[in-house]
Amino acid sequence: MARTFVIGLTGSGKQTTVNEDTFSLSGRVYPDMITGSEEQTGSSTGYNQLYVVTEGVGGPGVGDLAGRIIQRTAHDLADLLGRYQSPSLDFRKFSRDLVKEAHNRVLSQIKPRGNGITGASMALLLIDANTAYVLNVGQTDSFLFRGGELFLLCSPADNGNGRRTALIGDSRSPAPSGLITTREVDLKPGDIILLTSSGFRTGYKPHQLIEDLSSPDAFAASIRQAQIHSRKSDDSASGTVLALKVRDLELSEPGEPVAGLEIRKSIYHKEIGEDQPESEKAGKSKGKRKGKGDDAMARERKEKRKGNLKTFFLFLLLGFLIGLAAILFVWFLILK
């Protein structure tokens, strides 16, 4: 399975009243507010991982809602992923069923305003073990950055044959199952996969994205920089990017213990294990022996403090008696 780090960024466009883009991370849909900007980060070691970016159209309360309905549908079907594995994953069938179900849900819950267009585009990334499956419908994009090169996985241009791009939830047409594009990628450590809305790539050239992704900065910092440059290029529409980086890969089945987990645990939590050097073990044993000596010294100091306290009160009593005797002596002289 793949150990991944993920960051999602979205920002409202200057010519839009609300942000109709959405992205999902750790099972939750963002943004929390439909205006302004938002950033979320996370990591995962799950055998199956799902990430979705949607780009809604239709105006406030329509496009953003369509995107959230699609997000919910994607996570619902991901819970039934076992139905599509026999034994390998039939991602094409999963994609067709997802698009059809999402299309019907949007139509049943949202009524278009007049003759306006309603619905949303979707870019989806599903990781199953060490394989990434990518689905695209509509105006969203997906990229793979590997070895300093940028590869376009799915885009509107891939629909081909002169057919128009489709929207999930568009009441003017049936479910766009025939207009979807899918890709399958065997993951490698260091791979970066991006899901983006059209607002992210507008005016932002591929060579600029390559420069940002090739930056020596940390992964999250390079994605933030890419979002900044994207917004500077053209911020008229909302722009969203969800980026995932593969940290490393594990060859294990669902439910099996992960090889090397105890080793990582000893590194991260600084526990003393059998795989540690003998010098460290000896150091710990030495520390235990020192602990016993410390206990004896503590008892000695405690007894010494008791002795000092007893001496103090004896001298205090002696001083009181001497003072009392002096007062009596002076009083005797006065009376005499």
Q: What is the pLDDT of residue 296?
A: 57
Q: What is the pLDDT of residue 266?
A: 34
Helix axes 63-78, 91-109, angle to 10 degrees: 140
Give tens-digit pLDDT for 216-245: 889 999 999 999 999 998 888 899 999 999
Q: What is the CATH number of the domain that holds 81?
A: 3.60.40.10
Q: How confident is the model at residue 36 (pLDDT cuts 50, 70, 90)?
A: confident
Whether the model clears a pTM of 0.75, i.e. scores above it, the answer is no
Domain limits for position 151:
2-259
Give tens-digit pLDDT for 308-319: 777 878 888 888
DSSP string, 220-284: HHHHHHHHHHHHHH--SS-EEEEEEEEEEE----TTSPPTTHHHHHHHHH----TTS-HHHHHHH
Is residue 75 assigned to a domain?
yes
Give tens-digit pLDDT for 100-122: 999 999 999 988 777 778 899 99
Q: How far is CA 250 from CA 156, 299, 316, in A?
A: 33, 53, 75
Is residue 310 assigned to a domain?
no
Is residue 200 assigned to a domain?
yes
Give tens-digit pLDDT for 138-164: 999 999 999 999 999 976 545 444 445
Number of independent structural domains in the chain? 1
Is residue 91 assigned to a domain?
yes
Give tens-digit pLDDT for 279-304: 444 554 444 444 445 565 666 666 66
Is residue 201 assigned to a domain?
yes
Q: 78: closest CA among 12, 19, 24?
A: 24
Give tens-digit pLDDT for 48-101: 999 999 999 888 778 999 999 999 999 999 999 999 998 889 999 999 999 999
Is residue 324 assigned to a domain?
no
Question: CA 137 to CA 72: how far, in whole Å?
Answer: 16
Question: CA 285 to CA 178: how far, in whole Å?
Answer: 68
Is residue 176 assigned to a domain?
yes
